[in-house]
Amino acid sequence: MQSDDITWSIINKSFCSFKIQTKSQKFCRNEFNLTGLCSRSSCPLANTQYATVREEKGVIYLYMRTAERAFFPAKQWEKVKLSRNFVKALQQIDENLIFWKKYFRQKCRQRLLKITQYLTRMRKIKLGRQKKLVPIQRKVDLRIKRREEKALVAARIDNAIEKQLLQRLKDGTYERIYNFPQEAFNVRIDEEEEESEIEDEEEYEEEKEEEVETDEDVEGELEKEALEDERRDEMDSDDDDDDDDDDDGGDDEDEDSEEEHQFVADFDESDDDLEDAAERMAMSSDGDEYEEEVKGRSIVRRHPVSLRNIKSRGKARLEVEYEMPEDSSKEKVTT
Amino acid sequence: MFSGHQTSAESWGTGRAVARIPRVRGGGTHRSGQGAFGNMCRGGRMFAPTKTWRRWHRKIGVNQKRYAMVSAIAATSSPALVMSKGHMIQEVPEVPLVVSDKVQELSKTKEAVLMLKKHRAWTDVLKVYKSKRFRPGKGKMRNRRRIQRRGPLIIYNKDQGLTRAFRNIPGVDTICVEKLNLLKLAPGGHVGRFCIWTESAFRKLDSLYGTWRKESRRKKNYNLPMPKMTNTDLARILKSEEIQAVLRNPK
């Protein structure tokens, strides 16, 4: 109308901010463009009389612009809501664009069709189950897997189960369930505290299958078990003082048998020492002796017998429950 | 005395198993024996060293300059051209945007921002904010580090504080009508910058450039250029009855 041709000659030849050029085609980024291509007849800037069909949030509108309103950008587009009925919408378009160029009528109708099609498709997809594609982050996955394995090892489930079972036994929940020969049972209880608990469990289970006896025997066993525990506790308390001497290398051997019984009682007291023990074990894997720096002087210490014994059995790493005879307070006193 | 020639280097000639490029004389330093003078040598001068006495200026006729100026001003009034340049004028109430003279008296940047927001020109300034980036290439180390878009241009008649109010808003330029600058009206050589005129500035255009009926009062003997076509819609003309009636039928 007014200077459309001039505008087009400038936009086409020189610069248009909406134009995107690819090797085969020119696209128009203008949101009101009817076809999406950059061409003389579909450029919304180069045609003052223009019409489009656009949808906003699922509602389809017909936009029209005339030459009169071309200089008021805020008010230039006239918006007509099209009906949801496709046929009626087509009629509406024809009514509104009645004296317009055939090009606009045709393109608007085509665009309306496309929009309705994709809207129905969107609705269908939403009704059905939508599979959401989630990318696998390989590094994260591997990391989690590794941590799971470590956590499994750290949890030491077997030991926990073991303890639970023994606890239940002591409490008497299995009163009438398992029947054992009495002596074998007692020996078992003794052995369990010497050796690794994993081995115990295996033997334990084997013995279960052996013999069938009366309930009274079982009860008797349990009572004796309880008595023995008390006896052991008394013994443990006596041995505490002996074990706390740092420099007594020779005495350790005498206290061999006594020390070995101490584990259960002292285990509860000092968690810190256990951790230290683990560290020290890790540090000096060679020999029974290790050096320790106490107030500047390095003192050679021998591992407590408990630890030495375990090493000889080749189960160093896992056993953290054995007590460490050293206390930090005691060290200060001696030096 | 340009760089790269501050040596007395001479070629060693043939027979020395080295390339024939002039080499630095003397000894006792790394530099001795190194190639000199060539654009391929390290520390040599560049090919065709650029001179300051290059012909920088071009003589362009006054009329041609005015033609360009006038075309640029006309382009700012076409919303299509302003939009194609990339300015966000989708919500501007009218193009060309003419504002009352009170804008010239603004002194605070806050007031200037408010004025732009009221006239819906602020989206253009926001676009400038978003476009702030570092220049690609060596310009970064040649004092041209940052680049941004151009925003709206405020054209005033009398500066009563306006320049200082709009000074700090990124992308916004201010210019007096009397001294319109083509570099500001058509930055980058592309016409159609978004211009905001004050009322008195807009009125002055007539006296500055004239109308076709009247000559310009300010420029001696100047009138607006005559267009080649009064009605530019060629397609419409060809389809019109007057012309179709005269055309013979296609074979």
- The dihedral through the CA atoms of A314, A317, A319, A321 has a sign that is positive
Pick B83's closest partner by Cβ from A6, A45, A74. A45
Contact list, B86 vs chain A (CB under 8 Å): 17
| Cα R_g (chain A), whole angstroms | 44
Compute the mean pLDDT over every residue in chain B, rounded to the nearest whole number: 91
**What angle, rounded to 10 degrees, do the helices at B122-130 and B109-118 form?**
110
Look up tokens 């003794």; give the residue.
A190
Q: Return the residue in A8, A12, A17 with the most chain B beta carbons within 10 A, the one to mutate for interface testing.
A: A17
**Chains A–B, number of C-beta pairs less than 8 Å apart:** 64
Residues of A in contact with B191 (CB under 8 A): 10
Indicate yes or no: CB of A14 within 8 angstroms of CB of B85: no
Q: How far is A70 from chain B (nearest CA, A)?
A: 8
d(CA B96, CA A226): 102
Smallest Cβ–Cβ distance between B91 and the set A70, A71, A73 belongs to: A73
- Please state, in angstroms and rounded to a whole number, the distance separating the CA atoms of residues A313 and A14: 88
Whose CA is closest to B145, among B155, B134, B154? B134
Helix H or strand E segment including A302: strand A297-302
Q: Do B234 and A5 touch (CB under 8 A)?
A: yes
Which pair of structure tokens corresponds to residue A92? 């509406």
Q: What are A165's two structure tokens?
A: 């079972």
- Separation between Cα atoms, residue B30 and residue B24, nearest integer Å: 10
Contact B120 A11 (CB under 8 A): no
Whether residues B80 and A16 touch (CB distance < 8 A) is answered with no
pLDDT of residue A329: 47
**pLDDT at position B251, please?**
85
Residue numbers in B near A10 (CB within 8 A): 75, 81, 84, 191
Q: How many helices (H) and strands (E) does chain A have?
A: 14, 7
- What one-character DSSP code corresponds to residue A244? T
Minimum-distance CB partner of B190 among A15, A45, A75: A15
Residue A181 has pLDDT above 80, yes or no: no
Cα A148 → chain centroid: 9
> Which residues from chain B sit within 8 angstroms of residue A11, using beta carbons?
80-81, 84
Beta-carbon separation of B81 and A7 below 8 A: yes
Which of the four pLDDT bands, split at 50, 70 and 90, describes residue A280?
A: low
pLDDT tens sequence across B138-179? 999 999 999 999 999 999 999 999 999 999 999 999 999 999
Contact yes or no for A4 and B93 at CB 8 A? no
**Chain A interface test: which of B78, B81, B84 (most A C-beta within 10 Å):** B84
* Residue with tokens 């901010």, as numbered in its chain: A17
Residues 6+ apart with CB under 8 A from B120: A74, B89, B91, B92, B93
Per-residue pLDDT reduced to its tens digit, B173-190? 999 999 999 999 999 999
Q: Are B89 and A72 in contact, with CB atoms under 8 Å apart?
A: no
pLDDT class of A325 with cuts at 50, 70, 90: low
Among the partner residues A5, A17, A74, nearest to B232 by beta-carbon distance: A5
At A86 the pLDDT is 94
Q: Which domains does chain B have, with CATH numbers?
A: 78-220 (3.40.1370.10)
Distance from CA of B114 to the nearest CA of A (A): 19
Tokens (6 digits) for B225: 């250029």
Which structure tokens are listed for B122? 């602020």
Q: Which amino acid is at A27?
A: F
Contact at CB, A73 and B89, closer than 8 angstroms: yes
pLDDT value of residue A184: 62
Q: What is the bridge-based pairing of β-strands B133-134 and B146-147?
A: antiparallel
CA distance A17 to A144: 49
Q: Do B91 and A17 touch (CB under 8 A)?
A: no
The model's pLDDT over A187-206, given as tens digits with 9 standing for 90+, comes to: 677 777 776 555 555 556 55
Do A15 and B85 count as a contact with CB atoms less than 8 A apart?
yes
Rounded to the nearest angstrom, the minimum Cα separation between A273 and chain B is: 60
Yes or no: say if A310 and A321 are a contact pair by the CB < 8 Å rule: no
pLDDT digits (tens, 9 = 90+) for A44-68: 999 999 999 999 999 999 999 999 9
> Tell me: the pLDDT tens digits for A81-119?
999 999 999 999 999 999 999 999 999 999 999 999 999
Q: How many other β-carbons are positioned within 10 Å of the β-carbon of residue A80?
A: 15
Indicate the residue of A3, A17, A74 with minimum beta-carbon distance to B91. Answer: A74
* Partner residues linked to B133 by β-bridges: B147
pTM: 0.63
**ipTM score of the complex?**
0.84
- Does B164 or A185 have the greater pLDDT score? B164
Inter-chain touch B120–A74, beta carbons under 8 Å: yes
Identify the bridge partners of residue A50 per DSSP, sorted by sequence position: A65
Q: Residue A146: in which H helix or E strand, if any?
A: helix A138-155
B75, B80, B85 ranked by CB distance to A46: nearest: B80
Q: What is the mean pLDDT of residues B229-249?
A: 89
Is the Cβ pair B84, A15 closer than 8 Å?
Answer: yes
Which site among A8, A9, A15 would you substitute to test the B interface, given the most B Cβ atoms closer than 10 Å to its Cβ? A15
Residue A213 has pLDDT above 90, yes or no: no
Residues of chain A that touch chain B, judged by Cβ-Cβ distance less than 8 Å: 1-7, 10-11, 14-18, 45-46, 48, 70-75
Q: Where are the beta strands (DSSP E) in A10-167?
A: 19-21, 26-28, 50-56, 59-65, 78-81
Please report which helix (H) or strand (E) contains residue A293, including its range. Answer: strand A289-294
Is residue B198 classed as helix, strand or coil in its secondary structure?
A: strand
DSSP B142: G
CA–CA gap between residue A247 and residue A299 (Å, rounded): 9
A41 → chain B, closest CA residue: B235
Rounded distance between C-alpha atoms, residue A319 and residue A324, angstroms: 12
Cβ proximity of A277 and A307 under 8 Å: yes
Confidence of residue B11 (pLDDT cuts 50, 70, 90): confident
Residue appearing with tokens 């980036």: B133
Interchain proximity A73–B79, CB inside 8 Å: yes
pLDDT single digits (tens) B103-132: 999 999 999 999 999 999 999 999 999 999
Contacts of B232 in chain A (CB under 8 A): 2-6
- Please give the mean pLDDT across all residues of chain A: 74
CB A255 within 8 A of CB A308: no
| Buried residues in B143-178 as b, exposed as e (16+ CB within 10 A) | eeeeeebbbbbbbbbeebebbebbeebebbbbbbbe
Bridge partner list, B188: none
